[in-house]
Amino acid sequence: MRPPALRSIAMSTSVPAPLPITPEVEHALARVKRGCDELLIEAEFAQKLARSANSGTPLRCKLGLDPTAPDIHVGHTVVLNKLRQLQDLGHTVIFLIGDFTSMIGDPSGRNATRPPLTREQIEANAKTYFEQAALVLDRDKTEIRYNSEWSEPLGAAGLIKLAAKYTLARLLERDDFAKRFAEQSPIAMHELLYPLMQGYDSVALKSDIELGGTDQKFNLLVGRELQRHYGQEPQCILTMPLLEGLDGVEKMSKSKNNYIGITEAPAEMFGKVMSVSDALMWRWYDLLSMRGNDEIVQLKRECEGGRNPRDAKVLLAREIVTRFHSEHAADAAEAEFVARFRGGEAPADMPEVSVAAIGGAIGVAPLLKQAQLVPSTSEAVRNIEQGGVKIDGDKVADRALQLAPGTYVVQVGKRKWARVTVV
C-alpha cells in the first residue's frame, strides 16, 4: 500500500510539555546508547521514549539499506543488533530496502561516481537482504518497506518540489562532495539527489529515529531537516561505529580476511570468536551481544575479580552461533572446540585444498600461503619460527622444509587447520 501524498505544512508543530524521565526510560536510554557512536539529540530522544512509555505508542525506528551486495558479515549486523534491542524494548522497526535509491547509488565515502545498479541486480540482492537480517531481527515485529513505494509516484514535479527544500550550499558541506568539488572531480547530478531521497524516506515513514553507520550522519541529518519542512517532529539519529575485525585493528572486511560470515559453519564461527583478544571481546559484547547492560557489567566485574575471561568469551561465542544457527549448533561447536584445543584433536570438517609442487616438492612457507592458512609468506615464516606450525601433528622447526607430493594435515596456531594435498 502506498502512503498518502505528502505535502509541506507551513505552520510549525506545537512543542508538548516535557515529561519526567522515569527510571524505566533511563534504563531504555542507556541500553540504546550502549556501543553507539552518537545519539542526536539525546534529550529529544529521551522525551520520545517518555511519551512512548506514557501513551503506549511504540516509536518508529528506521533503518534503510541499499541492496548493493548479496551477503553480509557479522560487522554488518552491528546496526541490526541495535534495532533488535529497540524491538525488545517494544518499539516498531522499519527495515527499509532502498530499491529506488540503489539505482542512484549512495555517494557516502566515495571519491568517484558510483555506477548505478540495474533493476535486475537490485532485485537479486534484495531477495537475500531481509532473510539474512531476520537472523537478528524479530521477523514478526518488523515492518518491511521498499522506498520505490513513494519515490516512484513522486514524479518529476514532486522531485522538483522536494529539491526546492534544500540548497546546493548545504549539500556541498558534505565532506565527500566538498572534497570532490575542490579537486574538480565530477559530481553527477543524480548523486546530489541521493541525500534528499533518503531524507524523504523519513518523511514518508514518519520515523522517530533513524539508524546508520558513522558515514551516514549527513544523510540522516537531511531526513531531520526535511521532516521539519513537512511539519513533522524531526527524527533523532543514532550512528553506530564500524566493528573491528578479528585482528582488533582494521574494520571487519572480507578483503582483509578478518571477518566472520553469518553463514559460516558453527564450529568455524565459534573458533573465530574464541580467537579474539580479551580487550576486543568486551568491545564485541557492547556491539554484538543482546545481553543487558547490567549483565555485561557484572560479567566484566567477575573477570576483573579473577574469573577466567575465556568463560566470558565462550558465552559470547555461544550467543553468536545460536543467533545465526541454533542452540544445538552452539553446543556442538563448543564441544568440538574443547576437543580440538584442549584435547589436541583435529577437527572433523577441516577444509581440503590442493597445492602444486614445483620440481617435485613445495616449501612449507609457500604451502601455508597457497592453502590460505596465512595471508603471506612472511607471516608463514613468523609462525614457523614461533613454533606455531604442525604437519601431521609434528611441530615444524625448519622453515626450509620441502614437502613431496602427498596429503598432509596442516595446523597453524590453535585454530587454523587444513588437509593439504601436494600434487
Q: What does each C-alpha distance from 334 to 73, 315, 320, 327, 342 come to in angstroms?
A: 21, 10, 12, 11, 11
Give the pLDDT of residue 5. 47
- At 211-245, the pLDDT tens digits run 988 878 888 888 999 999 999 999 999 999 888 88
Among 122-136, 188-202, 234-248, 251-265, top mean pLDDT goes to: 234-248
Do residues 84 and 132 lie in contact, with contact meaning Cβ atoms separated by under 8 Å? no
- At 405-421, the pLDDT tens digits run 878 889 888 778 888 88
pLDDT at 192 over 60: yes
Return all residues near 160 (Cβ < 8 A) that are at least 6 apart: none
State in words which class domain 352-422 has: alpha beta
Model pTM above 0.85: no
pLDDT at 380 over 70: yes
Give yes or no on whether 23-240 and 352-422 have one common fold. Answer: no
What are the cell numbers at 407?
Answer: 596429503
Alpha-carbon distance 205 to 207, whole Å?
5
Q: What are phi and psi of 209, to 5 degrees?
A: -150, 140
In the chain, what are the domain boundaries? 23-240, 266-341, 352-422
- At 180-190, the pLDDT tens digits run 767 777 777 77
State the fold for domain 23-240.
Rossmann fold (3.40.50)
- Strands (E) across 196-247 are located at 209-213, 236-240
